[in-house]
């Protein structure tokens, strides 16, 4: 509510949101809006620490209202500061208050070897950034110490002109999020002070020696990448928020079967995000104050694995949801275009999701040894019984009630995860034994093995979290409707895994697909009458939705009539009308 009050008051938001703006004006407005977010108390760190549910709530509403300015705000005021806090030390804290260009005598030299090493698309880099966090290989006396993060002055803060020694510029117009100035940079032997290395995980002394509190280079690499999880955790929530915006419009306009599985998915994701963002912020607080040190490394790895899969799968589900909504209604093109980048930034989904399968693959030898698997968030604990799950795995349901029983759905996903883990592990092993490098072995095992493994793993975790939410509900009516959403999402998502269920001989004969199809149709029919109430319960207010077909009063044709008649172009003759007249006979050329 506070955020909405702020936006209603702020002059930079009180523009006609349906009016066509120039590219440059879109940029200017987004920057001004992003700067104004700084004044919103609820977004401040102190407010977030008081209630860790606030970040998810704020992300949802801000992204539904103004995606470009929200992302711009997040990159500048959240990701930049998080990088300094997580990876820097006291000598960098001045950047948090007052960003200024450093001075020093001992320098690092940043160099992009050729144009293939250009960094592209970074948010804010195009026109406005004065500093960037740059991840680069640290090379000392010819020896590489791996990826490290540096604070790099880019433009003079007094006049926003780039410094010499680098080429920086804007990537131009995109299909969405045009308020963000995504940019490119190429460094040409560009010197930065030694102090600009973010040195919590690795330091270079005045004498040019490398020292690090983390001896294992892999762990050092993991720690350097750790602060990037924040982006993926938030993007998962952004995907949900943008999907719900589209679903609100489409379901209010035409609640129909094709939209209902996506409604179920939105609810499952919503519960997951509320849980996972809170987990992540608590993890960040503990990391920064140095508490729970014994559990943090394992928790960090689990968060990394989960966030790499949930960001990808949430992005894909909501891409399909938004497209389905577009086909079922209208006014959703902007949501579709703005959502699109979620599939790419913070890791292109197909590349990113390999992080999850890499984490899971390490567990197969433990399963073979019948060792107990216990992870801080318990996302993989069921793998302890992996051999038993595979031994017993058979599809045994014959009725609607049996296939819809939550424990049966969970056990199907557990079998799928164990089966795909086993197959992926042996596929990678076979590739390695045939002489392939680690990169090619993983690459050749990605499409039908590791990728599907990561997907079923995260779907199981989504469902597990949803079940936990359902168990907390006290009202039987709420329990019932949440269970129906759980079952619909669980069964509908199984459709894509049917080949694997037959391949692994979990199912035989036609019962499984027949029962699945029958149950999905029945669940959708049962849910149809509740669909509008369910979307109303999570919909953004009209001020934020800004939709003709999806307004909460349901007066579709009234709003449509007024929008059509009041459009500035609706009844005007075009300025170029003379070009289509044939003046010899005063007839149209068309
Ligand atoms: C709108 C937008 C905003 C962005 N904002 C930022 C930002 O603020 N800051 C920032 O630092 N970056 C930003 N980025 C950059 C973004 O994070 C990268 O574009 C993204 O991670 C993909 O990396 P890439 O462009 O190098 O493509 P690649 O990762 O090279 O992918 C290119 C293609 O190759 C395929 N591919 C590559 N490697 C593999 C593999 N191992 N296995 C299988 N397939 C593979 C991919 O699937 C893809 O099809 C942004 C990008 C966009 C589009």
pLDDT digits (tens, 9 = 90+) for 12-44: 776 555 565 788 999 998 999 888 887 787 777
Atom of ligand 1 nearest to the CA of 120: 15
Name the nearest CA neighbour of 89 among 213, 178, 271, 235. 213
Q: Within a 10 A sphere around the Cβ of 152, how many other Cβ atoms?
A: 22
Atom of ligand 1 nearest to the CA of 79: 8
Query: Where do the H-state alpha helices sit in 21-93?
Result: 23-37, 45-50, 54-65, 67-73, 80-87
CA–CA distance from 399 to each of 92, 393, 497, 511, 561 (Å)? 63, 18, 20, 10, 49
With a cut of 70, list the residues of the chain below it in pLDDT.
1-2, 14-20, 97-105, 222-227
pLDDT reported for residue 43: 76
Q: Any residues with CB less than 8 A from the CB of 528 and at least 6 apart, and which?
A: 255, 256, 257, 260
pLDDT reported for residue 561: 94
The proportion of the chain whose per-residue pLDDT surpasses 90, expressed as a percent, equals: 75
The residue whose C-alpha atom lies closest to atom 47 belonging to ligand 1 is 350
The residue whose C-alpha atom lies closest to atom 24 belonging to ligand 1 is 348
Task: State the pairing for strand pair 182-187/166-170.
Answer: antiparallel
| Complex ipTM > 0.90 | yes
Q: Any residues with CB less than 8 A from the CB of 437 and at least 6 apart, and which?
A: none
Determine if ligand 1 sits within 6 Å of the CB of residue 341.
yes
Determine if ligand 1 sits within 6 Å of the CB of residue 345.
yes
Kindly give the distance from the C-alpha atom of residue 409 to the centroid of ligand 1, in angstroms, as a whole number.
35
Cβ–Cβ < 8 Å for 318, 339: yes
Q: What is the pTM of this model?
A: 0.93
Kindly give the distance from the C-alpha atom of residue 491 to the centroid of ligand 1, in angstroms, as a whole number.
32
Question: Which residues are tagged catalytic?
Answer: 346
C-alpha gyration radius of the chain: 26
Determine if ligand 1 sits within 6 Å of the CB of residue 75.
yes
> What is the length of the chain?
590
Determine if ligand 1 sits within 6 Å of the CB of residue 350.
yes
Kindly give the distance from the C-alpha atom of residue 351 to the centroid of ligand 1, in angstroms, as a whole number.
8
490 carries a ligand binding annotation: no
Kindly give the distance from the C-alpha atom of residue 137 to the centroid of ligand 1, in angstroms, as a whole number.
18
Kindly give the distance from the C-alpha atom of residue 243 to the centroid of ligand 1, in angstroms, as a whole number.
22
The residue whose C-alpha atom lies closest to atom 44 belonging to ligand 1 is 351
The residue whose C-alpha atom lies closest to atom 38 belonging to ligand 1 is 351
- CA dihedral for 89, 94, 76, 107, sign (positive or negative): negative
Hey, what domains does the chain have and what are their CATH numbers?
99-215 (2.40.110.10), 384-538 (1.20.140.10)
pLDDT reported for residue 103: 46
The residue whose C-alpha atom lies closest to atom 37 belonging to ligand 1 is 351
pLDDT reported for residue 223: 67
Determine if ligand 1 sits within 6 Å of the CB of residue 440.
no
d(CA 80, CA 90): 15
Kindly give the distance from the C-alpha atom of residue 201 to the centroid of ligand 1, in angstroms, as a whole number.
25
Determine if ligand 1 sits within 6 Å of the CB of residue 183.
no
Q: Ligand 1 pocket: which of 345, 446, 454 to mutate (most atoms <8 Å of CB)?
A: 345
């Amino acid at each position: 509510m506070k955020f909405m009050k702020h936006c209603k008051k702020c002059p930079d938001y009180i523009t006609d949101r349906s009016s066509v703006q120039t590219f440059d004006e879109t940029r200017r407005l987004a920057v001004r809006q992003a700067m104004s977010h700084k004044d919103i108390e609820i977004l401040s760190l102190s407010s977030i620490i008081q209630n860790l549910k606030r970040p998810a709530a704020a992300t949802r509403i801000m992204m539904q209202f103004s995606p470009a300015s929200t992302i711009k705000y997040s990159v500048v005021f959240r990701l930049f500061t998080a990088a300094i806090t997580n990876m820097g030390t006291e000598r960098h804290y001045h950047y948090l208050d007052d960003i200024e260009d450093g001075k020093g005598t001992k320098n690092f030299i940043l160099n992009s070897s050729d144009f293939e090493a250009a960094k592209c698309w970074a948010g804010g880099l195009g026109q406005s950034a004065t500093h960037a966090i740059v991840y680069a290989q640290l090379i000392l006396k010819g020896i590489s110490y791996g990826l490290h993060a540096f604070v790099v002055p880019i433009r003079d803060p007094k006049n926003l002109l780039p410094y010499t020694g680098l080429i920086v510029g804007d990537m131009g117009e995109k299909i969405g999020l045009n308020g963000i100035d995504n940019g490119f940079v190429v460094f040409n032997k560009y010197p930065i002070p030694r102090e600009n290395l973010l040195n919590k995980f690795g330091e270079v002394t005045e004498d040019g020696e490398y020292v690090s509190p983390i001896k294992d280079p892999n762990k050092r690499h993991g720690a350097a990448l750790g602060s990037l999880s924040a982006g993926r955790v938030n993007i998962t929530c952004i995907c949900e928020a943008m999907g719900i915006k589209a679903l609100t419009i489409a379901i209010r306009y035409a609640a129909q079967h094709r939209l209902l599985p996506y409604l179920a998915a939105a609810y499952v994701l919503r519960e997951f995000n509320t849980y996972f963002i809170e987990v992540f912020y608590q993890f960040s607080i503990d990391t920064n104050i140095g508490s729970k040190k014994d559990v943090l490394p394992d928790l960090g790895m689990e968060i990394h694995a989960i966030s790499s899969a949930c960001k990808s799968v949430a992005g894909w589900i909501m891409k399909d949801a938004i497209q389905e909504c577009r086909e079922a209604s209208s006014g959703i093109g902007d949501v579709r275009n703005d959502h699109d980048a979620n599939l790419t930034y913070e890791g292109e989904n197909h590349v990113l999701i390999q992080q999850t399968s890499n984490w899971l693959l390490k567990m197969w030898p433990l399963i073979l040894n019948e060792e107990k698997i216990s992870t801080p968030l318990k996302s993989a604990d069921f793998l302890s019984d992996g051999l038993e799950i595979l031994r017993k795995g058979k599809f045994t349901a014959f009725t609607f009630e049996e296939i819809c029983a939550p424990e049966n759905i969970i056990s199907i996903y557990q079998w799928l995860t164990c089966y795909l883990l086993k197959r992926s592990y042996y596929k990678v092993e076979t590739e390695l034994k045939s002489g392939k490098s680690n990169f090619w072995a993983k690459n050749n095992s990605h499409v039908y093995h590791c990728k599907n493994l990561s997907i079923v793993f995260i779907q199981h975790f989504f469902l597990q979290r949803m079940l936990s939410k359902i168990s907390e509900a006290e009202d039987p009516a709420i329990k019932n409707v949440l269970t129906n959403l759980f079952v619909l999402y669980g069964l509908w998502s199984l459709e894509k895994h049917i080949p694997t269920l037959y391949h692994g001989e979990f199912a035989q004969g036609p019962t499984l697909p027949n029962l699945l199809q029958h149950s999905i149709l029945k669940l959708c029919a049962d849910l149809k009458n509740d669909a509008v109430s369910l979307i109303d319960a999570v919909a953004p207010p009209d001020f934020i939705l800004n939709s003709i077909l999806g307004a909460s009063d349901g007066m579709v044709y009234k709003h449509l009539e007024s929008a059509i008649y009041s459009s500035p172009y609706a009844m005007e003759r075009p300025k170029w009308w003379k070009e289509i007249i044939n003046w010899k006979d005063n007839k149209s050329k068309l």
